[in-house]
Amino acid sequence: MVQAYRHEPFTDFKVEENRQAYLTGLKTVESYLGQDYDLVIGGERIKTEEKIVSYNPANKEEVIGRVSKANQELAEKAMQAAVEAFKTWRKVKPETRADVLFKAAAIIRRRKHEFSALLTKEAGKPWNEADADTAEAIDFLEYYARQMLRIKDGVPVNSRPNEFNRYDYIPLGVGIIISPWNFPLAIMAGTTVAAIVTGNTVLLKPASTTPIVAAKFVEVMEEAGLPAGVLNFVPGSGAEVGDYLVDHKDTRFISFTGSRDVGLRIFERSSKISEGQIWMKRLIAEMGGKDTIVVDKEADLELAATSIVASAFGFSGQKCSACSRAVVVEDVYDQVLNRVVELTNQLTQGDPTDQNNYMATVIDQSAYNKVMSYIEIGKQEGKLMTGGEGDDSKGYFIKPTVFADLSPEARLMKEEIFGPVVGFTKAKDFDNAIEIANNTEYGLTGAVITNNRENIQKAREDFHVGNLYFNRGCTGAIVGYQPFGGFNMSGTDSKAGGPDYLLLHMQAKTTSEMY
Ligand SMILES: NC(=O)c1ccc[n+]([C@@H]2O[C@H](COP(=O)([O-])OP(=O)(O)OC[C@H]3O[C@@H](n4cnc5c(N)ncnc54)[C@H](O)[C@@H]3O)[C@@H](O)[C@H]2O)c1
Ligand SMILES: N[C@@H](CCC=O)C(=O)O
């Protein structure tokens, strides 16, 4: 019998044994840096001339690896492989499909620190952030396998005498998985295996900055016994391969995680019917955020400051859940702001392979340029309290940056920056703070720091975000504990890691037999 689900514990790197385990993982990763990886289509490994080269964001000279790059012809071949594999995979027993996930979780758990070290090298994740990403990938595997066992026989419906009614969930077909670079293992793996365990076959197009960890994950799924053609690996350009697959008549659903703009493009394109298409495509889209921590006047102000700093600067603010706005009631505004600045100035930054560094880089040159340009905008719109500088000579380092006294209407308070920048604005009172917090087109995460029970209730009703936290930061949802997904332009609120998630990859079928 399967044990009850519990999330994978985080590693305590203060323990010497754990520290050494991570360093051993790092050595393993260093032994395979710079290697080539193939496309995987119908189980066949395919090399192309053209490659996507993955670089270490903390050391631009270091090549993490090169993956073959799919074009439209290869995307078509992968689509046909997935269509063919669906004919058999959809009939494989749910228990057998779940077993593949359980085994993959065990493999990743055994190689946990190697995967984390690879995330450090390829995505610039400091140790704790990398460890959390790997743990979340294991959680998705463990949780979705169990969820599949829960729904494998459908749900009971009523039957009358001499009648037997059933209500079952069946798979959809071929899915396109398009994943982002900021959780290059957890989100890539989670979205892929949710589709697979429910009986679908997929084409996985990972983000171009982090394809190596995805290639390693595909190897794990093969080792875990996944049949050929169920998971096809097609790294490639979003515009070329992405559009082609989104438009394809055989695409039954798309599971996208990424920015608002790309998500909306996919939303629009996927709603158009291609010639020969016989269904309406389903879209799961998890997109950006402009996430706020609200601080009430009756609150633990130290907790407020530490929560803002951790949520704003963990992984250099490159989380869709990151706190990029602090809305503080005027009575305690200066106190919270000054303490945040003090704590920010204590943060360590540098190469993420060094355990002592709390922060490292942003992902690439274009992210660096974008964040630096927002910092320039911030200098016009508010008061720079600390940070504001970058250095892209070796890697893409940007100092953790705090802006004060921004208008709620400032661009810095409305647009997703996706970097280590947090803006402060003052609210007259708690009601006004919630109004400001809602003053964005996004609705992903938010947190409220307050000791006032009435205000907790008020925020529960009125703060319009998919994941709302009280007296803690706004990042770090745990699979199976805080299902994750947002409102409005943050996406379709699919709640990854939640009890309804798998159903989004299935369709319900009613059967009724007369005796
Ligand atoms: N809501 C969530 O759960 C969640 C989680 C992680 C990241 N995000 C968001 O993701 C963004 C950061 O990730 P990113 O920079 O990788 O996002 P992105 O939108 O640039 O890219 C995401 C994926 O889409 C692909 N893509 C690009 N153009 C495409 C096209 N025309 N057709 C199909 N695919 C295309 C990319 O290659 C990549 O694989 C942020 O906005 C962040 O908030 C959201
Ligand atoms: N699920 C993560 C964020 C994922 C997006 O980047 C969190 O809760 O912090």
DSSP 206-232: --TTSHHHHHHHHHHHHHTTPPTTSEE
Query: How far does the centroid of ligand 2 lie from the alpha carbon of residue 321, in Å?
Result: 5
Residue 323 designated active-site = no
Encode 154-205 in three state secondary structure: CCCCCCCCCEEEEEEEEECCEEEEECCCCCCCHHHHHHHHHHHHCCCEEEEE
| Mutational test site, ligand 1, from 125, 233, 247, 262, max ligand atoms within 8 Å of CB | 262
Question: 363: domain range?
Answer: 291-470
Ligand nearest to the CA of 259: 1
Q: Read off φ and ψ for residue 39, nearest 5 degrees.
A: -70, 155
Catalytic position from the list 136, 320, 323, 381: 320
CA of residue 477 to ligand 1 center, whole Å: 19
Q: Is residue 35 domain-shared with residue 151, that is, in the same domain?
A: yes
Residue at 421 is within a domain: yes
3 domain-assigned: no
Tally the domains of the chain.
2
Is the same domain home to 202 and 106? Answer: yes
Answer yes or no: is 476 within a domain: no
How many CB atoms are closer than 10 A to CB 322? 31
Residue of minimum CA distance from atom 1 in ligand 2: 477
Q: What's the CATH code of the domain at 30?
A: 3.40.605.10
- DSSP annotation of 359 reads B
Residues 465 and 388 in one domain: yes
pTM greater than the 0.90 cutoff = yes
Note whether 275 and 304 are same-domain residues.
Answer: no
Residue 382 tokens read as: 């508010």
Nearest-CA residue for atom 33 of ligand 1: 242
Ligand showing the shortest atom-to-Cα distance for residue 180: 1
Residues lining ligand 1, judged by CB closer than 6 Å? 178-183, 187, 205, 207-208, 238-239, 242-243, 246, 257-259, 262, 265-266, 286-289, 320, 416, 418, 444, 486, 490-491
Is residue 397 domain-resident? yes
Which residues have a Cβ under 8 Å from the Cβ of 453 and sit 6 or more positions away? none
Same domain assignment for residues 280 and 395:
no
**Cα separations in angstroms, 416 against 154, 180, 291, 406:** 40, 15, 9, 15
For residue 367, give the ligand 1 atom closest to its CA: 15
pLDDT in tens, the chain (515 residues): 899 999 999 999 999 999 999 999 999 999 999 999 999 999 999 999 999 999 999 999 999 999 999 999 999 999 999 999 999 999 999 999 999 999 999 999 999 999 999 999 999 999 999 999 999 999 999 999 999 999 999 999 999 999 999 999 999 999 999 999 999 999 999 999 999 999 999 999 999 999 999 999 999 999 999 999 999 999 999 989 999 999 999 999 999 999 999 999 999 999 999 999 999 999 999 999 999 999 999 999 999 999 999 999 999 999 999 999 999 999 999 999 999 999 999 999 999 999 999 999 999 999 999 999 999 999 999 999 999 999 999 999 999 999 999 999 999 999 999 999 999 999 999 999 999 999 999 999 999 999 999 999 999 999 999 999 999 999 999 999 999 999 999 999 999 999 999 999 999 999 999 99
- Same domain? For 191 and 252 the reply is yes
Query: Between vectors from CA 360 to CA 358 and to CA 365, what angle results, nearest 5°?
Result: 160
The pair phi, psi for residue 491, each rounded to 5°, is: 130, -160
Claim to verify: residue 355 and residue 282 sit in the same structural domain: no
Catalytic choice (136, 286, 381, 416)? 286
Residue nearest to atom 44 of ligand 1 (CA): 287
Choice from 311, 319, 417 to test ligand 2 binding pocket (greatest atom count within 8 A of CB): 319
Nearest-angstrom CA–CA distance, 85 and 82: 5
Q: Are the CB atoms for 195 and 100 separated by under 8 Å?
A: no
372 and 394 within one domain: yes
Has 286 been annotated as catalytic?
yes
Q: Which residue in this structure is represented by tokens 């494998």?
A: 152
Q: How far is the CA of 112 from the centre of ligand 1 (A)?
A: 25
Identify whether residues 259 and 167 lie together within a single domain.
yes
Same-domain status, 93 and 177:
yes
Q: How many A from CA of 342 to the centre of ligand 1? A: 33
CA–centroid distance, 360 to ligand 1, in Å, is 21
CATH of the domain at 422: 3.40.309.10
Nearest ligand (C-alpha, residue 207):
1
Q: Is residue 221 part of a domain?
A: yes
Asked if the structure places residue 382 within a domain, the reply is: yes
Strand pairing category for 44-46 and 445-449: unpaired
CA of 136 to the centre of ligand 1 (A): 19
Angle between helices 430-437 and 453-462 (to 10 degrees): 30
Query: What pLDDT, on a 0 to 100 scale, did the predictor assign at position 1?
Result: 83
Output the CA angle 3-175-116, nearest 5 degrees.
50
Nearest atom in ligand 1 to 209's CA: 16
> Is residue 91 domain-shared with residue 188, that is, in the same domain?
yes
Which residue ranges have their beta carbon within 6 Å of ligand 2? Answer: 182-183, 319-321, 475-477, 484
Pocket test for ligand 1, best of 67, 122, 182 (most atoms within 8 A of CB): 182
For residue 256, list its beta bridge partners.
178, 285
The amino acid occupying position 303 is L
The 10 Å Cβ neighbour count of residue 454 is: 9
CA dihedral 325, 331, 334, 335 (to 10 degrees): -100
Q: How far is the CA of 288 from the centre of ligand 1 (A)?
A: 8
Residue 278 maps to a domain = yes
Ligand closest to Cα of 323 equals: 2
Of the candidates 310, 343, 316, the one whose C-alpha atom is nearest the C-alpha of residue 475 is 310
Q: How far apart are CA 169 and CA 430, in angstroms?
A: 45
Q: Are residues 264 and 295 part of one domain?
A: no
In a domain, 90, yes or no: yes
**419, 430, 484: which is closest to 461 by C-alpha?**
430
